Structure 1
């Protein structure tokens, strides 16, 4: 196996080091250091839904509610960064510890448009530590 092939198995680190985008990237860098991931303003994400690239956004959770999607539970939150807001939805979840109004969060995923609104379904996320908000 080539060196690059081994690197891809280890999470695509070589591709990132060489500056080549990793196809199908899911925001795995988010878990390592969310502050190091460049974030897109939510207001600029509306036009990205067509190509569906992975976006990294940060903001404050303004509202959180449980609802039903296609008969299954879902937790929905509104993430706002001052430029705009988007819905963040975790399917199959009724609650997630720490997901509450007022918390700062970094989220990563592919934008979808549902009922005319930008939505991140089942994103990778990291809550900012309290006191750093």
Structure 2
């Protein structure tokens, strides 16, 4: 029987930067654990071997891959955020999209009061929704 399913984000040397960013963006975010590569281990010393953090009650795992890959994050898998207020969605949209990109700018699309689909500076895709 499956115990739990959690998103796992793989970065190439920017996991700590991403964790710090997400913890600063969301009020209810916390670092649960962070294991780092030590001297003589396969990854660069100090980089994230495995970290776990929580944002809005959702636990995430992440790591730094020391192997370069021909792939990165894709918008076809996104993190859907149910915002509690217009102030929250108005704050999150520019912060998350800064140095990233916008697939759907903040606006009214008929299926919610306000919506945006953005990618952050790490390439992680976020759908922001105000029901």
* TM-score of Structure 1 vs Structure 2, range by shorter chain: under 0.3
TM-score, length-normalised on structure 2?
A: 0.26
TM-score, length-normalised on structure 1?
A: 0.25
